[in-house]
Structure 1
């Protein structure tokens, strides 16, 4: 016979409950064998015998957080690293990759420590506690400009790889010949509507941990393929000796050097997603988040260094600003056609999976800036969807107007990326250290060093970009 009652385990304790349970329990505390948590929902079905326990929502684990944070780091910037090796040389380039990774990890630890100290729930709130409301607005504008620029770059790469550009043939052209897929804007629009919009509509960053893990795996596949091809060509003697240090012998080389350093500093910027990831950790402690930051840094340094070395060795002085465009031609070894497809299509899929993670913090920041005081975005599904679709539309329009990822990286790297990754975290640490345990002498030195380097990189980068544009004009 059907019943709505739940079987009661033999070893459990059942108590007939009075209508005034709180009063009765307070008067008879020993009647309960096992104390029931406050978040238990009881469905008595007109009888007080059945207790239904609501399972608490579990947060993100360490590795899920690592994948989300690593995905925030390993985006399109990795494709520009081989081109920076062409300018910096292998020795200087690898040293800078390591130094920037270490400084970025330290700045993340500063951010986490002082966000917990002042009980901030977002990057902007932490900045406001340290530097005031105008600084918060400035930091949120930096996040919006940086993340929107990065998402535009992703769409440009997807369009260039799949549909081709003026200088490079696309995957669809190689597979299918000429057709409607030659229209880059149409292909990008289809990708946005069919793939990106559903993923970007999710309202929790922890929901993206699986896709983030897949995106990191695809980046590793790219690194492995590039290294295998480079090794084969090195054994066969088909690789030219690489540059080891920058070329200071020409004005053009020095100008390129001034331009690529901000791009290198842009590579590790993930600070806008640190607080959302921390907020959804199962164990919300600074120690646990610092572990996430360190694991992420090690993973990203390995992937970045491998990509930069393998990519530059493969193509030498012919390395493009977006190395994916180098893979539209034969590589000079067996199965090169299949390998080029694996690299290009795999990295396009990687960017599709990275896109929602960057979009998440963009949407959160826009909501905090525009709808401040309207309640959490996760509790208003209509506002969340409306912001998602508006931002996707604006990013799509931007991808149809900016011609090159190099153009976008040069300016965001020298301005917003440096500010978010180094300037604001250093200022937060220096200003809020007087309100808590404070900084050690070594930490204070690192904070001042980080701040000084950020100012220098910003000034030099902006000046170099402006001069470069005027020279080419």
Structure 2
């Protein structure tokens, strides 16, 4: 559920248009997703955007006006928080279960600080480079290769986000239908098969919305998505005090609750372990799944394509003011992520699944509160997928046929192809953990570590390479490369190990 900003945007009904009106009379209440779309389908020369007006050349670049911002400081904080929080929050408890509480907090702190530092680099590069478009910064820095790297990373991140949303549909919708219809025996019922339901939702609900040329009204889902995640966090905290340790429940009830927990209970009995040992929090954990922790965290903190549009619409715009917006937003999300991970982990300990919400079905089943949470999450992600498709389709359109007239046939073929490809990923990729891991280690690492620092080194000319700022950016770039290569390598090794063991 990655979002962007609230502002006064007018999305042209022609998706192939390269112009973007910033003085529209059409006001959205929560059009936070729309600003992120802006960086994808605006493909014009920066000089034609009046970013660096001739009359302003005497000013410092970082004080140059694009157009007066209309969004207040508080609403900008809300919008950037929208841009940060997403489906990654559902995987944080799994990350903590495979790192331990202390190690997770250390990693969470470093990733949030590094993400904030990359926002600083991005804002300074945008002002010095004279563009508020991520792809245009890439073009200014490294030509077509830089533009393709930025566009490709953002597209991969969006495909990963889409896949994670459809994974939630795959996991949660069968449970909702089962609860609403009060079905006990699920054998042979096609409408309780997650793969079939993903296809059904995708092509009956998501596809018609995705085929629209103007998705402005879906901006309201930004606020809904954030409220849904806050509601999810509240429920996770409450459930910690309602649900006893899972293994304790199985052992005391002496009944089959769920295959996973039954096996865990048998393992506990076989090893003569006590319930207290099984339900004791651990602070440092290293196992084969620990490698997914950093990618899950980086996936959860990606908001960088949305930063520049939010900056553009900030009232009384300045880099210092935008950094204050970023600090508050990142700190708020840091607390939200920490609480969600901690209380989810302290509820299920090492038995947390890669998607936290799905784990609750093993214990509480048809609980009304969780049913409401599932319905809210399903509605939010279903309405969010078309908004995520929009920039991917626009990027593909501008890459393949930037000068051609709008065609409904091309528009429809690209939309169906994107949706079909994402459905194949959701059906054949074993778990949402793999989506979080792969996208977090690749596209998210590019957007947080590598691209902002590379653009900064190339475009900020007033600082010599031996300056502290440039050396810091270079170290940040190198650390990003190490994180990306190291995480990807370890994840691939884990996949190979699972495949050889029959796990995939």
TM-score of Structure 1 vs Structure 2, range by shorter chain: 0.7 to 0.9
Query: Closer, same or farther in 2 for the Cα pair 1:382/1:57, shift >3 Å?
Result: farther
Residue among 395, 410, 418 paired with 1:365? 395
Match of 2:31 in 1: none
Q: CA deviation at 1:111?
A: 1.4
Q: CA deviation at 1:302?
A: 1.7
Distance, in Å, in 1 between the alignment partners of 2:108 and 2:85 is 13
Q: CA deviation at 1:445?
A: 4.8
Deviations along 1:200-252, one digit per CA (max 9) or x if unpaired, are 567778755532111111101111111122145589x98822111224xxxxx
Q: CA deviation at 1:259?
A: 3.4
Q: CA deviation at 1:264?
A: 2.1
Give the match's secondary structure for 1:415. Answer: helix
| TM-score calculated relative to the size of structure 1 | 0.74
Deviations along 1:250-281, one digit per CA (max 9) or x if unpaired, are xxx1x332332222222211223333444555
Query: Closer, same or farther in 2 for the Cα pair 1:72/1:360, shift >3 Å?
Result: farther
Distance, in Å, in 2 between the alignment partners of 1:278 and 1:208 is 21
| Within-5 A mapping of 1:55-454 | 56=25, 61-62=71-72, 65-163=76-174, 170-176=175-181, 177=183, 179-193=189-203, 195-197=205-207, 200=210, 208-232=218-242, 240-247=279-286, 253=287, 255-279=288-312, 285-331=318-364, 337-372=367-402, 387-388=414-415, 390-434=417-461, 436=462, 443-454=469-480
Deviations along 1:396-418, one digit per CA (max 9) or x if unpaired, are 34333323211222222212210
Match of 2:490 in 1: 464
Q: Alignment RMSD, CA only?
A: 3.5
Distance, in Å, in 2 between the alignment partners of 1:196 and 1:93 is 36
Distance, in Å, in 1 between the alignment partners of 2:487 and 2:334 is 23
Q: CA deviation at 1:116?
A: 3.2
Query: Closer, same or farther in 2 for the Cα pair 1:82/1:401, shift >3 Å?
Result: same
Deviations along 1:28-59, one digit per CA (max 9) or x if unpaired, are xxxxxxxxxxxxxxxxxxxxxxxxxx985567
Query: Closer, same or farther in 2 for the Cα pair 1:124/1:353, shift >3 Å?
Result: same
Query: Closer, same or farther in 2 for the Cα pair 1:93/1:442, shift >3 Å?
Result: farther
Q: CA deviation at 1:195?
A: 4.7
Distance, in Å, in 1 between the alignment partners of 2:119 and 2:212 is 25
Q: CA deviation at 1:346?
A: 2.8
Query: Closer, same or farther in 2 for the Cα pair 1:303/1:173, shift >3 Å?
Result: same
Distance, in Å, in 2 between the alignment partners of 1:374 and 1:279 is 29
Query: Closer, same or farther in 2 for the Cα pair 1:352/1:102, shift >3 Å?
Result: farther
Match of 2:254 in 1: none
Greater radius of gyration (CA): 1
Query: Closer, same or farther in 2 for the Cα pair 1:392/1:66, shift >3 Å?
Result: farther
Q: CA deviation at 1:326?
A: 0.6
Unaligned runs of 5+ in 1: 1-53, 164-169, 248-252
Larger mean Cα displacement after TM superposition, 257-266 or 64-73: 64-73
Query: Closer, same or farther in 2 for the Cα pair 1:74/1:233, shift >3 Å?
Result: same
8 Å CA contact 1:363, 1:387 repeated in 2: yes
Alignment: residue pair count: 401
Query: Closer, same or farther in 2 for the Cα pair 1:283/1:369, shift >3 Å?
Result: farther
Q: CA deviation at 1:285?
A: 4.8
Deviations along 1:314-342, one digit per CA (max 9) or x if unpaired, are 1001111111221113349xxx8123313
Distance, in Å, in 2 between the alignment partners of 1:154 and 1:439 is 42
Unaligned runs of 5+ in 2: 1-22, 28-68, 250-275
Distance, in Å, in 2 between the alignment partners of 1:292 and 1:392 is 34
Q: CA deviation at 1:158?
A: 0.9
Distance, in Å, in 1 between the alignment partners of 2:218 and 2:80 is 11
